[in-house]
Chain A
Amino acid sequence: MDNTENTSSLLDFLKGNFDQMPEQASTWAGQVDTVNNVITLISLVCTLLIVGAMLFFAIRYRRRTDNDVTSQVTHNTTMELVWTIIPTIICGFIFYVGFTTYRQMRTPPLNPLEVNVDAYKWRWEFRHDNGKKDTNLLVVPLGQAVRLIMTSHDVIHSFYIPNMRIKEDVVPDRYTYTWFTPTKVGDFHIFCTEYCGTGHSDMLATVQVVTPEQYKSYVWDRTGQSDADLSPAELGAKLFVKKTCNTCHSIDGSALVGPSLLGAYGRTRECTDGTTLVADENYLRESILNSSAKIVKGFAPAMPAFQGMLEESEVQALIAYIKTLKVDGDVQSSAPESSSATTNTKDVEK
């Protein structure tokens, strides 16, 4: 991450991608780091002076006898004025550089590229202006100002890209915005930085900075969205990752936030309300669209309802995919006696 060269001059130190800061990838990242390094440098000098003086006094004036002669000076107006005025000037200066740098971070140019950001527990949806949608992947063109118009569909989230040095809360029932101009091609982390529950630390996404040409072909590549030539199970497998089902549901039998989907289809389940049921297509459908209706015993009702967020065909594709997740040699994994459900899937597969 840290590709600083060890240059020696103070100016380089102040300008540089010093210490632990992540790689600079936006127009103002360098300036933010300079502000940061100026503050850090002033802090280090002050701390060394104060603590140094304290230690020096502690050693130099260490008690020798119980009757040591000590200074009886109780105040010194000149000195007190000096150490009031100097920090005031330093603070004023730091405020000013922080303020001017931040003001441009809050002032997007006139015609930025606009991307809508929708935050859900626990994923990010990005919608580009031509309707291109993606989950947990924000593709942006190099060198172009991008303005993000953000809202949340449940609790407060916060949108943070360390490499761009930007962060802004994403609040339900209102739009907040942030913007940046990427200066480096590559993949960078997007974190959620406002605590939002069980999946908070899994609410990761990637911002992918590409060349303008690549961006154009990305935005106009709609194959991911029509998915006409895929089988339902193949489409389901893609959706399973894309809609971040895999954040909470494993396919290898290990329990994450939610139960594993390995061999889930056709299995007899005990619910939190004490009832038992067989996980057939209708149950899986309900569990996706109205997830809190029936909760498998031992799990919390943490999953958001996907009602209105999936096309019916997508729900069916997901179910088709879950059906393929069989335990080897599991006799139970054949279709349960539920004729209507079976017919449904067959319709899809046609």
Chain B
Amino acid sequence: MSLDSNHVRQLCRLARLALGPEQEPALTAELQRILAMVDALTSVPTDGVEPLAHPQAMVLRLRPDEVTEADRREALQASAPAVAAGYYLVPKVIE
């Protein structure tokens, strides 16, 4: 599967990453080579093989539906770049 620079720009938009114009050709070439390498998978016969998402042959445990966390808003928001009155601040979203 080939990948052109328009496609790379679309991936960057989906992943919320911005490439400088000088990075784009090198990254496109690297991604092309990585995808060419993983293309080797297409030659493995897998008809009827159930996909394996997870190495544990068990159903994941669910915890009881109870409130277990104490209110630690101030401590947790101490890591935030910008907060006010208990809210996270971001640039204005609604004009």
* B is bound to A: no
- The chain A residues found within 8 Å of chain B, CB to CB, are none
Binding site for A on B (CB under 8 A): none
